[in-house]
A and B are shown apart, each in its own frame.
Chain A
Amino acid sequence: MNQSNCKGSMSTASSSTNWKANDVVPDQFPAGLRVLVVDDDPTCLVILEKMLRTCLYEVTKCNRAEVALSMLRENKNGFDIVISDVHMPDMDGFKLLEHIGLEMDLPVIMMSADDGKQVVMKGVTHGACDYLIKPVRIEALKNIWQHVVRKKKNEWKDLEQSGSVEEGDRQQKLSEDVDYSSSANEGNWKNSKKRKDEEEETEDRDDTSTLKKPRVVWSVELHQQFVAAVNQLGIDKAVPKKILELMNVPGLTRENVASHLQKYRLYLRRLSGVSQHQGMNNSFMSPQDATFGAMSSLNGLDLQTLSVTGQLPAQSLATLQAAGLGRSTTKSGIPMPLVDQRNLFSFENPKLRFGEGQQQQMSSNKPMNLLHGIPTTMEPKQLASLHQSAQSIGSMNMQVNTHGGQGSSLLMQMAQPQSRGQILNESTSSHVPRLPSSIGQPIMTNGIAGGVIGRNGIGDNSRGTGYNQVPPSSSMLSFPMNHTTELAGNSFPLGSTPGISNVTSKGSFQEEGNSEMKGSAGFVQSYDIFNDLHQHQHQHKSHDWELQNVGLHFDASQNANPIQGNLDVSPSVLVHQGYSSSQRSGQNRNASAVGRAMFSGVECVEQGNMQNFSPHLNNLLVDNSVRVKAETIPDTNCQTTLFTEHFGQDDLMSALLKQQGGIGTAETDFDLDGYSMDNIPV
């Protein structure tokens, strides 16, 4: 799991946060592990409870998913792991999985008497960290603690990586993130150990970072307010400023809203995109209906935006939205709705779109940012093509793709270093679905919305969980993000972020100039956020992160998507870059901007502070970008290099960028430092 800690500095920097299971795990671990088991069958529930008690775990049983969710929400740190049945009358187990992933970023184990490949696959793609076939034997339960440890480890790794990049701010941010994530997930035993170890350091950092970057926590209530405001305005007219006014929440900035909106859109896109992309990704993704569903909705959102911007035809928007809303587990089979659709999630042919779109995208650079912020490392061309084809459903995706064209650049941006890392890590479990939920878009019929909000509120670290998009295959990525395949599963049309390509094309992210932002802006297109992004490029540390995330996703995206192919490379690179870029404020910015763009949902793009960057979005973006890149960017030479964690960010970024099509050294701009997920400047 551990991604190699390529940087020595990282280890130092993250020493405090370097929580190794062996080191910090209390002696009695795994005894005392706090398990929440959810199953509507009372017989099974009782048996499981007894088995878990026999394993010396602390068990809470629950026979309704809703109750379980509220229990989890009320007591965010009250549980270490969740075991849930797949078939439940009040809520689908996968939906619950998504919610948990988005909101709490806890490891979730699915169970079912059904052992069909499709169902198991679905579990994997939704980010479940394990799948047990009933009848469950006690032996199977004895080792569930490994998932908790693994997750923690990944989170820490991410933090470390992000933190190591820069000292000072980064570290602070890291610590913040660490705290943040740990607060979200930490179980008591974990807390005691980890906290104590890092307490001093983190505390210090916390103070500083807190002062510097106030985080906006998108709680469930806040998110609901947000969603209500968006709906009231109409998705196409939902601009951050107005949303902010409608929400009327003191202390909330337009930047916060903007970045959150981005994520939300990504989520919607994802919902709608799911249904569309069948071929895109690979069979792997197919089972992800649910995930995609979310995307569709996301797409829907984007569509609106796009349509408004003229990119998406009105009907596409409607379609997307409908698709998004209907997110239902249609087997869109396309894990990456985004990818395909360059132009929009053309449900029918995601794959094609992507390729085409990309090309188009490139030219258009901007509009396509369907995937706002989705780090589609699509090459500019791809973006362009995406753009064209989009009509968008995938507008959201498209955007991302376009941006993604540049791929690297976007990714970079996306890579909000810390937050993303988390996302990536977190996403391992299942993230894709989370993303949508984070958006909380009302469209999300899945009811994830609620979850989403919660998710956002969790903060950086937890963000990651939501998005499983980041493929765990961190091999490529230097990040220890063991994001599960979810990323792969997410048919995030990363490539589809034409916007991204735009961004990358900007080339050197280094330039903080708006040019890059524009690229990302392409994503957003109608987003004010992007505009803001431009302005706030400097702050986008998240970009780096995003890239990182992206990178992560890519790696994970083993899926065949051709587009993804490129992405795969990028992600790692990006990710890496993301971190390294943080060093360079200038470039980071750009990168971040791009990255942001990539993540349509990723607010980070906007402002560099996409702290509230819902992990989901990141994942989305990441995925997308990853995907996109992977395939379409043939010239990404960096691919090989990308993976090397040891790449300095600059190198990575440049590599990525170059791959993307001369994106340039955006990497340097990744303003990772100090850019904590939480600080997404909204």
Chain B
Amino acid sequence: MERNQMRRQLALMRQSFFDQGFLDEQFIQLEELQDDANPNFVEEVVTLYYRDSSRLILNIDQALERNPLDFNKLDNYMHQFKGSSTSIGAKKVKAECTQFREYCKAGNSEGCMRTFQQLKKEYAILKRKLEAYFQQARQAGPLETACRSRN
């Protein structure tokens, strides 16, 4: 009972990610890759993403402190960051990345900094949500995580 409820909750949580635009189709691709051989694949990838991207965030933060801004470098960092975010399906984060790159191309320092703050916010929000999700998934049992409901 408890389990089923948990699973249902989990499913709802997961669905909300898509509905609210936090995650996109790519996340489903990851879920599809999860199998018996890699039962925690999605969680592993997301963890890897957060670990690696935190380094990038740091770099960008530092680069944004320079004056004047090196837009080229910033764009490069952001390109990498965007690639990673895209691959896990982090939709909102990706949107901020795109916006940031636009500002870079336009040479808009203020825009870049503002966007980056927003990006970090979205990034943190998603991280929290996913952490909670995975935790719940572990509690609910493997069935949930392996459940691929195409939305």
Contact = CB atoms under 8 A, between A and B. Distances in A.
Interface in A41-59: 41-44, 46-47, 50-51, 54
A114 B98 CA distance: 11
A41 B55 CA distance: 12
A43 B89 contact: no
B13 interface: no
Contacts of B80: 40-41, 87
B6 interface: no
Nearest to A138: B29
A135 interface: yes
Nearest to A139: B29
B145 interface: no
Interface string A136-158: 11100000000000000000000
Nearest to B46: A43
B52 A50 contact: no
A44 B83 contact: yes
Nearest to B81: A41
Contact of A43 (B32, B41, B52): B52
28 contacts: A41-B52, A41-B80, A41-B84, A41-B87, A42-B48, A42-B52, A43-B53, A43-B87, A43-B88, A44-B83, A44-B84, A44-B87, A47-B30, A47-B87, A47-B88, A51-B33, A54-B33, A87-B76, A87-B79, A87-B80, A87-B83, A112-B83, A113-B83, A114-B79, A134-B87, A135-B89, A136-B87, A138-B33
B30 A134 contact: no
Chain B interface size range: 20 to 34
Nearest to A50: B33
A43 B84 CA distance: 6
B17 interface: no
B49 interface: yes
A46 B47 CA distance: 12
Interface in B67-125: 76, 79-80, 82-84, 86-89
Contact of A137 (B29, B35, B41, B76): B29
Interface in B29-45: 29-30, 32-33, 35, 38, 41, 44-45
B79 A135 contact: no
Interface in A67-124: 85, 87, 112-114
Nearest to B84: A43
A63 to B, nearest CB: 11
B29 A43 contact: no
Most chain B beta-carbon contacts within 10 A, residue among A47, A87, A137, A138: A47
Most chain A beta-carbon contacts within 10 A, residue among B33, B53, B82: B33
A377 to B, nearest CB: 42
A114 B79 CA distance: 8
Given A43-B48, A87-B80, A50 B41 contact: yes
By secondary structure, the B interface counts as helix
Contacts of B38: 50
Contacts of A136: 87
Interface of B: 26, 29-30, 32-33, 35, 38, 41, 44-45, 48-49, 52-53, 76, 79-80, 82-84, 86-89
B45 A46 contact: yes
Contacts, number: 58
A349 B76 CA distance: 33
B83 A41 contact: yes
B101 to A, nearest CB: 10
Nearest to A136: B87
Interface in A497-532: none
B33 A43 contact: no
A87 B80 CA distance: 8
B86 A135 contact: yes
Nearest to A114: B79
Contact of A113 (B41, B53, B79, B88): B79
A135 B87 contact: yes
B33 A113 contact: no
A363 B91 CA distance: 64
Contacts of A44: 83-84, 87
Contacts of A87: 76, 79-80, 83
Nearest to B30: A47
A54 B41 CA distance: 13
Given A50-B38, A135-B29, 20 more contacts: A40-B80, A41-B84, A41-B87, A42-B52, A43-B48, A43-B49, A43-B52, A43-B87, A43-B88, A46-B44, A50-B33, A51-B29, A54-B33, A85-B83, A87-B80, A113-B83, A113-B86, A114-B79, A134-B87, A135-B26
A521 B82 CA distance: 53
A61 to B, nearest CB: 13
A114 B26 CA distance: 16
B92 to A, nearest CB: 15
A12 B86 CA distance: 52
A136 B33 CA distance: 13
Contacts of B26: 135
Contacts of B49: 43
Interface string A606-635: 000000000000000000000000000000
Nearest to B80: A41
B56 to A, nearest CB: 10
A47 B27 CA distance: 11
Contacts of A47: 30, 33, 45, 87-88
A87 B53 CA distance: 16
B88 to A, nearest CB: 6
